Every structure is written in structure tokens, then in C-alpha cells.
Structure 1
Amino acid sequence: MRYTWLDEYLLQKRGVTKDLQPVWNWVRYMIGGRMFAAVCLDEKNKPYYINLKLEPMEGEFYRAQYPDVIPGYYSDKLHWNSIRPDGAVPDELLRQMLDQSYALVLAGLPKKQQRAALGLTVCGSECGSCELYGQSCPGCNEAAGRVFHAPAGKPCPIYGCCVNKKHLATCKGCPQLPCAIWQAVRDPSLTEEEFRQDTARRVERLKGV
């Protein structure tokens, strides 16, 4: 296979897991328990197709442009496409197609499951890195925003705005990111510069998925 970078490229995406489906002999790449890409192997474990998901019109366009893009092998041929691993599809285009497949499958998950799969809160924090996680705080996603620093019995204002009011999976979908609510609920132990850096990291995490 000429796309030797594929495995590393997919596994560096947030929340991605990999397994082998032994009956089909497919190496599957999953987000939230759902496949978004697969490398189909023959009896000698040689790749013969790369399967990925695209919007139907986009899939039709690429099939018309590249003979090495065909309707999905052993898949829903409306949404899934197969790429020959030794074909002429440019590397950068295949990366874009894989990115789109990842985004489509992720977007198809329930919003809470999206956050769980990504390991992120609505505001881009990583609960797993917090010393209180699993002890005095079960985590933002698990507690529906009612974390240790939220008003008693109520969700964190960021969670309340993002999920309960705007019905978004994360703040990434809000054009005001980062908004005044972030400033209002900032960690008081952080200096202005530390808060600025923390905000930038969280925004980068959100925009990176």
C-alpha cells in the first residue's frame, strides 16, 4: 500500500480506537464505537481497499474524477466509498476524505457520546487530567455539568448555555467562542496570563476535532 502514513494519521485523531474484524479481515478505525474508516485485507493480509464515508454527492464526484474511488465494498454504497490502496488518489486528498469521514461519523453520535468519545468537556477541558476527577467530581459529561465548582444543584453556566440552551455538543459550534461566560467562571487561582493560555488550549482542542 502506498499510503504508509494512514495508520499513524488516523490514530493521532482524538478518541480513535483500532481493532481487527476477524471475519472480514478488516482493520477498523472507530470513534465512539462506530467505524469511520477501514483497511480491507486479503488472505495474505495485503490491503486491497480503504473504506471511508462521504456525503453522497461528494462521493459521486470523486468516483467520477478518480477510477480508484468506487462504491463502498461490502458497505452502504450511497455513503461509503472504497479507495484502491495502490491507486492514484493524491495523498492530500485521501487525508481530506478521511478527515471528512471522521467528522461525519462523530457528528452522527449523540452529543453526550461525542464528548465522551473525544474525552472533552463542552468547553474543551480534559476531566481526566484533573486531580478531582473520579473523587469529589465525576466529570462534566457524567454529571451533566453539575461539577464541583458549579452552583449547588445547577450545571456549570458554560454547560447550561452550550447544551441546555443552544443544544450544541461543545462550544465549538458557537460563533462567540470563547464568550464572556468563560471569563465569568474562570478559575480564580489562575493569573490573567495563565487564564489566557488555558483558554487558548481549550479552544485549540475544540477546533481540532
Structure 2
Amino acid sequence: MDINMLKNYCLSMKDTYEDYPFGEDVLVVKVKSKMFALITEKGNCLNISLKCDPVLSHSLREAHASITAGYHLNKTHWNTIIIDGSLPEDEIQWMIKHSYEIVVKKLPKPQRDELLSQK
């Protein structure tokens, strides 16, 4: 996966948009003003940070060397995934969707209902 594939997959979720609140080097993808993905690319190193269930987060880190605690984020609820080809594309997409769904579940009820009614 490259940065455009990651960005496009994140933006394919309902009511998402890109933002750069941390500067032009960090692409943040949000749903209803809440971030669910941070994408950075420095040199040959592409990373995506995603929200994750705490129990699952720990399991993923133990199972994959390319998944670490969220870089500059809450280490309990965020993972940073190094996009180095060691994880299948569908697994990365599943983690992106999981992050999106966690954030949607925490939105205020009117916003959450609006998203769910768009299905």
C-alpha cells in the first residue's frame, strides 16, 4: 500500500475528510470532526496510526513487529502500523475500518444516528 491507497480507503468511509492540524507532514482523517487515522510519510517510512480496542491493540502488537503503540498518541487506544509490506492489505483495511467504527460509536447520538441512517 502507498499513501494514496491509505488515504483513499480512509476517505471512502461515510462523512470523512482530510485535515492537517499538526502540519503538512501529518494527514489526519476525521469523521464528524473526530480523528480516526493519522498518516505520515518520511523518506521511505510510511505509517498509519489508528484507534483500536485496548485488548485487541495489545494482541496485534504482540503478533506483528510492524505494529507498535501509537506514536505521540494514547498508547492504550492507538496503534501505529509501519507500512512495510509485512501485513496484508486486507488486514490494514480491516484495522482502518475498526478505527472508524470505534470513533463513530463514541460520537454524540445525533451524529451517530445520522451516519447510521445513511446506510
Q: Percent identity among equivalent residues?
A: 28
TM-score by length of 1: 0.52
The residue number in structure 2 matching 1:64 is 62
Note the alpha carbon deviations across 1:16-60, whole angstroms, 9 max, x for none.
Answer: 111123437210110010100110233x6x653210011011011
Task: Please report the RMSD computed on the Cα atoms of aligned residues, expressed in angstroms.
Answer: 2.1
Greater than 6 Å deviation, 4+ residue runs: none
Distance in 2 separating the partners of 1:95 and 1:103? 12
TM-score calculated relative to the size of structure 2: 0.87
Residue equivalent to 1:179: none
What is the aligned length? 119
Matched residue type, 2:58 = E
- 1:1-209 superposed matches below 5 A: 2=2, 4-23=4-23, 25-42=25-42, 48-116=46-114, 118=115, 124=117, 205=119
The separation in 2 between residues aligned to 1:39 and 1:23, in whole angstroms, is 12
Of Structure 1 and Structure 2, which has the larger fraction of its residues in strand? 2
Q: Which runs of 5+ in 2 are unaligned?
A: none
Q: Separation in 2 of the partners of 1:4 and 1:76?
A: 26
Structure 1: gaps (5+ residues): 126-204
Which structure would you say has the larger Rg? 1
CA distance, structure 2, for counterparts of residue 78 and residue 5 of structure 1: 27
Secondary structure of the corresponding residue to residue 21 of structure 1: coil
Going from structure 1 to structure 2, the CA distance change for 1:24 and 1:2 (only over 3 Å counts) comes to closer
Question: Which deviates more from structure 2 when the two are superposed, residues 32-41 or residues 67-76?
Answer: 32-41
Match of 1:13, SS state, is coil
